[in-house]
Structure 1
Amino acid sequence: MAKQTAIRLPDETYERLQALAARTGRTATFYIRQAIEEHLEDLEDIYLAEQVLERLARGETRTYTLEEVERKLGLDD
């Protein structure tokens, strides 16, 4: 099931989007959906990475060297 939402765009972005839609015969909605779908995973990854960095900075988590991981997994032969 699809949900509907509304966004506000700067005038220049709106005009560019409308021009692209007119030139290609696609709808502005198509390009908005495509942009969101292509970039949402990247934004999620950035958010998760920032959370990990914050935990590292607070000393709540630690990193492991490659040697430590190999030793733990028995790959240090």
Structure 2
Amino acid sequence: MSKQANIRLPDETYERLQVLAARTGRTATYYIREAIEAQLDDLEDIYLAEQVLADIRAGREKTITMDEMSRRLGLDD
């Protein structure tokens, strides 16, 4: 199931989107969805990384050295 959302775009962005859709034969909705999904992946990664960094700084998350990781993975040969 999909949900509908309304957004406001600056005139220039809207026009660029319309031109792209017309030139490629795809809908503006297609490109909006593609852009959101791509950006959302990046935003989720950034948010999770910031959370882990905050946990490390607060002592709630432990780190290990590269040498220890190599030993654990059996790469220290």
Alignment-derived partner of residue 53 in structure 1? 53
Alignment-derived partner of residue 9 in structure 1? 9
Equivalent-residue separation in structure 2 for 1:27 and 1:74 (angstroms): 48
Equivalent-residue separation in structure 2 for 1:16 and 1:39 (angstroms): 18
Alignment-derived partner of residue 67 in structure 1? 67
Runs of 4+ in 1 over 6 A off after TM superposition: none
Alignment-derived partner of residue 40 in structure 2? 40
Alpha-carbon deviation of 1:67? 1.9
Alpha-carbon deviation of 1:40? 1.8
Aligned residues: 76
Residue type at the aligned position of 2:4: Q
* Residues 74 and 23 (structure 1), Cα distance of their counterparts in 2 relative to 1, 3 Å cut: closer
* Residues 19 and 66 (structure 1), Cα distance of their counterparts in 2 relative to 1, 3 Å cut: same
How large is the RMSD of aligned CA atoms in angstroms? 1.9
* Structure-2-length-normalised TM-score: 0.78
Unmatched segments (≥5 aa) in structure 1 = none
| Percent of aligned positions that are identical | 67
